[in-house]
Each structure stands twice: as C-alpha cells, then as structure tokens.
Structure 1
C-alpha cells in the first residue's frame, strides 16, 4: 500500500496526539514532527520520533540540548505530502504561504479563522466537500461536538433550532500553572459566542445560538442544550438519532458517572492513551423530551475530540478514502472508539 507522508508542525497538546494517531493508521506514514521546544515536551520523544526544528534558532537550541534534529521545518515540508499544523493560534496562518509555495497540502486547527482556508471540516458533515482540496481547517473542540450532536438530530429530520450554554474549561491541564481562573466564572463577552457561527461554517442551515462562560476547572467542557424539534417526538426517537450518529457515546449518572472528572477517570480505567476521550459523551439518563423540545447535556474532551477529525481530513485532502464512511471506519477502528463506554457496543 502506498502511504501518504504526513508531517506535523507543532508538538503540543494536539500535535502529539495527532502524531500518535498517524502512527496507528495503515495508510499513513509519519515523516516527522517540528517544534521550537527543547525541554521535556520534545526531549521525551526524541528517541522515538523524527524531530525537526521549526526555526533556525530552534535548530541551534536543539543541537545544544543534544536533541539532534533531522533538519528544519522546510526540510520536513519537502518530505511530506501533507502537513498538519498544530502550532499556536495565528502562528499557523502565517505558515500558509510556506505550504502553498512548497505545493504541500495542509490541515489547520480551529484556532485559525474560517477565512484562512475557506473550508471548515467535520468528517460526518462535509467530508465530500474537502476531497482533493489543498487546505482545510478542523474546527475547534466545542464546534466539533456541536456539529456531531446537532448534526445527528438534523440528519434524522428532527432539528428545528437549538440554544446552547457552554461551560468551558479555563486552560489545558499542563498549563494550569501559567494562568487560568480560580473561584469565579468568566462570561464570554458576546452573544452568540463564537462556537455557534463557527458550526454554521460546516452546517450553514443550523439555527442555533450559543452562550459561553469559562469555569475554574481544567479538564473538559460541558454543554447544555435546549432544542426545538420539527415535530413532537418520543425520547426513544431522540436517543435513536444520537445512537445512530458516529462519534457520540453514552454515559449515565446511574453508572456513577456524575461529573466531568468521573468520566476522565473512566477513560484512564479503560486504558485510553493519556486518558483521552475522542467521542462526545452524552448523559443518556438526562436526555429529556417534552413534546417538541429536547433538553440534554454532554461532555467534550478538548484535548482529544478533534484527533479523529484531523485524521479524516488527511484522507479527504489526499483522497485516501472516497467518502466519510470509509475513512471514519478506519479511524474509529484504529483508535478503538465506542458508542457506549460500559458495554460491548462498538462503532
């Protein structure tokens, strides 16, 4: 099998997870990762992965630190068919012309604007429109969850409009010593918050409004949705629509999964790498239907949810798989994704 050569620029929270996922794919080869760090973040994988320096200064610093980089970012780009750019917000957009000049395809993350690539991506929603493109942008963790859940109801013909409240984590856990908030909650300064309009870049027909606030915790986001349906429906119909969709898994308070931290602990007990949860975790026993309204809440693991979408974006841009179902089947199988964490029900 001819494998697509993939380079990862940025070896942080998302980049390291993308790199590990690429190594699990039968149709992809990880040719290297680039970064500017010289500390534990890159030193911990220097003997396992080919590392490259994102800048000339970084190359010199890596050499002094004894990390022996294989080359520079430009050399990584030359070796790659496609680059996954997971560098910090706004840095990635500055790399776009470099990739275009080199004739290399590129996948960006949700920190960049839709205008950067002119295309935003969630595999189940718009894989076909990404086929063969030079660039796309995998939307943010919260936006990915919105498209998955509301898209499931839309596909079932049940969604009329949705209004959501998002309680966001303050910062990534490994950066909690640098900032974050304590004993307070910080509202986002505008309504709608940015996640709703962002979801509409993927599914333009969605009628939704999002309101968000930042909470004093570091692990995962929590969403609450009030959804008006196209008609009165039963709870079983709503559950069936969610269960039929990919990358949504059910959790239950009756199983003791009563809070965000308990779900993360479950992921560790299941042996997930880094305790990651790639699925949207919907509390099944809290799904409530009253006539043509649905009320539900779910959990979003911000560090991991976009990883399968990024893998599928690689296949879409390089035409490794002809459609979303084909690509997602490979991705979900290699990662071991589930529809229910406490049963034998697999994707």
Structure 2
C-alpha cells in the first residue's frame, strides 16, 4: 500500500492491517491490534484538526511500544499546534525507532524530510543581538524600540531589518531566518564622549540697596556728630564756661569779654553739631526703616521715598516725599 506523503491519515490507516503482515520480516516491528487502533483513531482526529486529542492517542500507542510512524505523526500534530521543539524531538526518533513495513522506511524518510522542511515556515525563529555598550536601543522593522539586553527576539520566519541606535550613532542589519533558526548580530558602537560639566558663573551677590547704604551712612554720620557735640560740650565748653564765671566774679572785663565771645561761638557750633547729628541720625534711621518695609528692592529708577534733612535758624527737620 502506497500513501501520499501529505496525508497523515493515510499513513496511519496502514497500521490497521493485521499484525501478521509485519511479522513476516524480522527487520520490521510487530504491530499489535491495540497499537493499530490507537494510531488509526489518532490519524482520524488529526485529519479533522483535533490535534490535542490525536497527540494523546499517539502517546498512548508509544506507551505500548515504539513505532517510527507513530513518532512521525506525533511530531506532525505537535507542529500543527506550534509546539515546534517537541515536534523536532519526535521527528528525531523516527530514524531509530522500530519500523513498520508499510509505509516503507524510504517512504517515511521522504515524508519526514518534507515535514521538517515545513517547520521552517510554521515555527518561530529567533534573532539575538549582542551590543557592546549600555544604552543601545533596537528597532525591528516598524516595531517599537526596545533596549538591547541580549535577549532573543522571537519572530516569524522571514526577512527583517534590525536598527540599532546610540545617541547620534546608528547601524542596521538585514537578516533572513527560517523557523527554529537563530540569527546572531553583533553591534559595536563607539562610546560617545562625556558631555563636559557646565560651568555656572554666579553673579556676585548684590550689596544692600541705596536706601540701606544711605541709611547706614547717615546713621553713622549723625551718631558721630552727636558724639562730637557731647565731647565738645564736656571737654571744651564746660571748662570754658567755668573760666567765664570766674572772670565775671572777679570783674576781669578783658577776660570776661574774650571768653564770652569764644563761649558763644563754641555753643553755636556745638548746637549745630547736635541738631545736625540728630537730624542726620533720624534721616538714616528712616531710610533703614523704608528699606526694610520695601524688602530692600528699591532702585534709583523707581525711588519710592525721598528724604531731605534741613536746618533753619534755631530749628531743623526732615522733608520727605513718597511715590507709588
């Protein structure tokens, strides 16, 4: 009985023949009735696309005894379900397993070669890309980029373009793979130079604003004038006033007149120092207060407050203007 290689069911029906058909030659296995029935039923289910059920029957037959044709059809059903590695393992048993007389070993060999060739189109392939640097991304055809981590990319049989990128660098490879094959690609990029650390030039801290500066200067000047007035009063005017009183008590008109003019001039100067120092001190303190209230942000272009000290005959004051 000759079977068409593409029809698995035909192969298995040949097992339904009486076992004596195979027992006539010591080179062939003896097929029991149970094996023949399991294989025939498995062939029927496989022909109907019920490969899971067919696989169970083929395995049950192999538990009774091994036959080359059973391994062949087991591998075929496994391949139909995409269980390619298991199918290859089953196919590998065909040449060494006990053989049946019909189909002949030569016919099974031809069929096996055809089934193995089908795996190149039925089973997934793998592409492994090895990268020499971290940070490399891979893009397989139009798929989303992924990191190059050395893991195998599972693909259907066919041709693919693998694009690798690292910064501004890129390279691409075109590979063709068949089912169960693995294509290895090595991508070597030049390590990009490290970007120099940016040099940050900090602007010097701005000093206090003109209000604060003027306030501190005015306060210092005012305090100095007041201190000078106090020293003049204690160290100069007080002794001079004592001499003036003594001259008056002694009736020394010459000394009295000389000391009187000098004392009046000294008192006038001292009053000026005291009044001027006080006014300037108040002005400086006012500038500091205004600077504090304005947050120290006043500038010459937008002066919020103008303060001008003034002196008059026996009096003094502080004139100011506020703008907003």
Structure with greater proportional strand content:
1
Structure with greater proportional helix content:
2
Higher relative contact order (CA 8 A, sep 6+): 1
Q: TM over 0.5: same fold?
A: no
Larger radius of gyration, structure 1 or 2? Answer: 2
